[in-house]
C-alpha cells in the first residue's frame, strides 16, 4: 500500500507592484487606468489626494443610501406621530391641536439621525463587500510595509486584460521597484 500526499495548488490572485513614494504610485495608477485595467487597487499608509481620479473611480453611492434612509426616518417618524395623535388615539387636552408639529420635532430628528447612521455603517459594509476575513495580499511579506512606508498596486487575475507577462511589463514600465506574484 502506498500513500499519496495531497498537495493543494494555489491559484494566482494577481501581481503586486511596489513604488517608492506617493507621487510614483499616483503616476502608476494613472497609467494602469489608461491601459484599461479595471480590477486593481492602490494601497498606501495614508490617503492620497487625487487617487480616486487617477484610478478612474466613480463617485460613491453611500451618500444616496444615507439620504434615502434619512428621508425614510424623517417621514416615518412624522407619520407615526401624526397617525397616533390624530387617528389612532386622539386625545383632546386643553384644546391643543391633534397635529402639533413643533412637539414632533425631537422624535422626527432622532429617527432621521438613527436611520442615516445605520445606513452609513451597513451601507459601507455592503459596498465594500465586508466582512472579508482574509485578503491574499496578506500572504506577501513585502506587503506588510503598506502600514508604514509602502506604496503598492495590485492588478488581479480576474481582470479581462490580465496577461501575466504583459501586466508585469506594464507595472515595471510604470516605475515599480519590484513586482511580486500573489497566490490565494
Domain containing 83 equals 11-184
Query: Is the pLDDT confidence value at 2 over 60?
Result: no
Residue 123 is placed in which grid cell? 451601507
Q: Number of structural domains, the chain?
A: 1
- Residue 95 resides in a domain: yes
Is 77 in contact with 111 (CB distance < 8 Å)? Answer: yes
- Residue 178 resides in a domain: yes
pLDDT in tens, 64-85: 999 999 999 999 999 999 999 9
- Residue 36 resides in a domain: yes
- Residue 137 resides in a domain: yes
What's residue 1's pLDDT?
Answer: 38
- Residue 83 resides in a domain: yes
What's residue 20's pLDDT?
Answer: 95
* Side-chain-facing half-sphere of 72: CA atoms under 13 Å: 12
Instruction: Return the percent helix, strand and coil in the chain, to nearest 5.
Output: 50, 15, 35
Residue 18 is placed in which grid cell? 511596489
* Side-chain-facing half-sphere of 55: CA atoms under 13 Å: 18
pLDDT in tens, 127-170: 988 888 888 999 899 999 999 999 999 999 999 999 999 999 99
Confidence of residue 9 (pLDDT cuts 50, 70, 90): low
What's residue 134's pLDDT?
Answer: 85
- Residue 2 resides in a domain: no
- The Cα–Cα gap between 146 and 93 comes to 65
Compute the average pLDDT of residues 42-59.
94
- Residue 135 resides in a domain: yes
Query: Is the pLDDT confidence value at 172 over 80?
Result: yes
- Residue 5 resides in a domain: no
Amino acid at each position: 500500500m502506498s500513500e499519496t500526499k495531497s498537495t493543494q495548488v494555489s491559484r494566482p490572485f494577481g501581481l503586486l507592484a511596489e513604488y517608492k513614494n506617493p507621487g510614483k504610485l499616483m503616476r502608476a495608477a494613472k497609467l494602469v487606468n489608461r491601459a484599461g485595467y479595471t480590477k486593481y487597487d492602490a494601497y498606501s499608509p495614508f490617503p492620497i489626494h487625487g487617487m480616486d481620479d487617477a484610478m478612474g473611480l466613480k463617485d460613491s453611492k453611500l451618500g444616496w443610501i444615507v439620504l434615502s434612509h434619512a428621508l425614510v426616518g424623517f417621514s416615518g417618524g412624522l407619520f407615526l406621530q401624526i397617525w397616533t395623535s390624530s387617528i389612532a388615539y386622539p386625545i383632546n387636552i386643553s384644546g391643543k391641536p391633534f397635529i402639533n408639529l413643533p412637539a414632533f420635532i425631537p422624535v422626527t430628528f432622532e429617527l432621521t439621525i438613527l436611520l442615516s447612521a445605520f445606513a452609513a455603517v451597513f451601507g459601507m459594509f455592503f459596498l465594500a463587500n465586508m466582512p472579508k476575513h482574509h485578503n491574499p495580499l496578506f500572504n506577501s511579506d513585502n506587503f506588510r510595509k503598506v502600514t508604514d512606508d509602502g506604496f503598492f498596486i495590485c492588478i488581479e487575475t480576474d481582470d479581462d486584460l490580465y496577461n501575466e507577462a504583459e501586466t508585469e511589463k506594464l507595472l515595471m514600465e510604470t516605475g515599480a521597484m519590484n513586482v511580486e506574484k500573489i497566490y490565494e
